[in-house]
Amino acid sequence: MAPRILIDGRNVQHALAREGANRRGGPSLPTSALVARLRAAFSPPTEVELILDGHAGGGPSGRVAPGFVVTFSRHVSADAVIGERVAAALVALGPAGAWSVIVVTDDREVRDHARRNGARVEGTAWLTSRLAPRLAPPGTSPGRTGTGFGHGRPPKKPR
């Protein structure tokens, strides 16, 4: 069963701003930039749902790519929407299947609810570490030197 990742958007936006990902110095990452970075970090068959508080207000929403959905909570909190998704996964998939759901949040209540319903929980640090190579400052190498061959060793010099 492919994993399903539910992301608490507000937590992630603020975590990325704290990590220095937002080089413009604003309080949080724009939704469109966050969506682009998350799409690059997860590929199908992983199902990702970014859940944000409020209304779309011109930002991306709905199914924006295969396996990637942006949901705005509208009149309830994003925390409540995440709780509903986790509870529905437990009912639909059973206890063993609910383990394939990963909730990304730093909110204690959301974490506790997800765990009680059989979902796995990761903090925003887990997500920012997955995004880290994509967030390296310009001119720096995000990964090891060398090629994809040879376990990170630099290419051989011609003789």
Tally of structural domains, the chain: 1
pTM (two decimals): 0.76
- How far is residue 123's CA from residue 8's CA, in Å, rounded to a whole number? 10
Q: Looking at the domain assignment, is residue 156 inside a domain?
A: no
Q: Looking at the domain assignment, is residue 73 inside a domain?
A: yes
Per DSSP bridges, beta strands 68-72 and 101-104 are: unpaired
**Mean pLDDT, residues 89-99:** 93
| Structural domain boundaries, residue 58 | 4-133
CATH code: domain of residue 55? 3.40.50
Q: Looking at the domain assignment, is residue 109 inside a domain?
A: yes
Q: Looking at the domain assignment, is residue 127 inside a domain?
A: yes
pLDDT of residue 138: 52
Q: Looking at the domain assignment, is residue 71 inside a domain?
A: yes
- Give the Å distances, CA to CA, from 103 to 13, 86, 124, 136: 15, 8, 10, 25
Q: How is residue 95 written in tokens?
A: 């206890």
Q: Looking at the domain assignment, is residue 139 inside a domain?
A: no
**Percent residues over pLDDT 70 in the chain:** 77
**84 phi, psi to nearest 5 deg:** -65, -45
Cis ω on the peptide bond leading into residue 45 (within 30° of 0)? yes
pLDDT tens readout for residues 14-62: 887 777 644 555 556 778 888 888 988 888 899 999 999 988 776 677 8
Q: Looking at the domain assignment, is residue 138 inside a domain?
A: no
Burial of residue 156 (CB within 10 Å: 0-12, 13-18, 19+) is exposed
Check: CB of residue 83 under 8 Å from CB of residue 99. no
Q: Looking at the domain assignment, is residue 152 inside a domain?
A: no
